[in-house]
Structure 1
Amino acid sequence: MKDPEEQAEETVRDAISAPDAEGRPRRATRRFPLFTKDTARPEGGGRAARGDAPAPARQWPILAVLGLVGLGLLLTALDVFRVGTLLIGIALVAGAVLRWVVPDVGMLAVRSRFTDIVTYAGLGLAIVLLAMMVQPHPLLQIPFLKDTLHFTVSS
């Protein structure tokens, strides 16, 4: 246990609050000082596998998503554009599903669970939809987009 002097040094005084009779700010906060010595552990900082497993086994969710994205990029580079970009979008959607279903996803967790799910799913769905609309011979045609393009370009 720390003695009170050491605890007082760790507590950062909020300079914005009104000072007390001695001129010190009344409200003490837990904000980090200007130069932090340590950072807080992220929400998903836990392991996806037990602690004695090797590092790749502990981080299987992020490795699975990155593996699919890498395969999609390779297919895109090998001139199989539609399949490659579809695979990239599907990998991001799979990352959203993993973030929702698996309690400890390791490094796949970046921010809060809600933010990660919305971000992964939103970007994944956007990439999938764009990959399906790629010319020539699109798999998905949205009628009002053609009219919107003609309206904005011809104006």
Structure 2
Amino acid sequence: MITVTGRRRWTGEIGRYAPFALVMAVAAAGVVLIFLYHWRIGSGLIGGSLLVAAGLRVLLPEQQLGLIALRRKLTDIVLYGGLGLLIILVAATITGGPFDQ
């Protein structure tokens, strides 16, 4: 039988990993689009997932971040945001796929 305390702990753990699951879902959607030869959109989604991670790092308290909080707050924000913007910039310059002639 699950007690109230056990139920709170279980839902708290799910809430703790929900931001990471969101970021990974967006990145996975980008990878699927890349495999379907939608290079720009897929790469943009991967960069967007890093921007989402940076935004969540800014907005959420430390207890709710789970696996998004890897380093100090400022370091995470700068690295997630910078890499996300860089990937989106590269995605904007993609002109075609490997089979275009």
TM-score range for the pair, normalised by the shorter chain length: 0.7 to 0.9
**Which residue pairs with 1:102 in the alignment?**
60
Residue 75 (structure 1) aligned with residue 69 (structure 2): no
Q: Gaps (5+ residues) in structure 1?
A: 1-49, 137-155
Residue 132 (structure 1) aligned with residue 92 (structure 2): yes
- Structure 1 pair 54–101 and aligned structure 2 pair: CA distance change class (3 A): closer
Residue 116 (structure 1) aligned with residue 76 (structure 2): yes
Using the alignment, how far apart are the partners of 1:130 and 1:111 within structure 2?
26
Using the alignment, how far apart are the partners of 1:84 and 1:75 within structure 2?
5
Percent of residue pairs identical: 37
Aligned with 1:64: secondary structure?
helix
Using the alignment, how far apart are the partners of 1:129 and 1:114 within structure 2?
22
Q: CA deviation at 1:107?
A: 1.2
Q: Structure 1 counterpart of 2:11, which letter?
A: A
Which residue of the other structure, out of 18, 22, 46, is the alignment partner of 1:60? 18
Considering Cα pairs closer than 8 Å and 6+ residues apart, tell me whether 1 or 2 has the greater RCO: 2
Q: Gaps (5+ residues) in structure 2?
A: 1-7, 97-101
Using the alignment, how far apart are the partners of 1:54 and 1:112 within structure 2?
23
Q: Which runs of 4+ in 1 moved over 6 A?
A: none
Bigger-Rg structure (1/2): 1
Q: Structure 2 counterpart of 1:113, which letter?
A: K
Q: CA deviation at 1:80?
A: 0.8
Aligned with 2:46: secondary structure?
helix
**Which residue pairs with 1:19 in the alignment?**
none
Q: Structure 2 counterpart of 1:133, which letter?
A: T
Q: CA deviation at 1:54?
A: 6.0
Alignment TM-score, normalising by the size of structure 1: 0.53
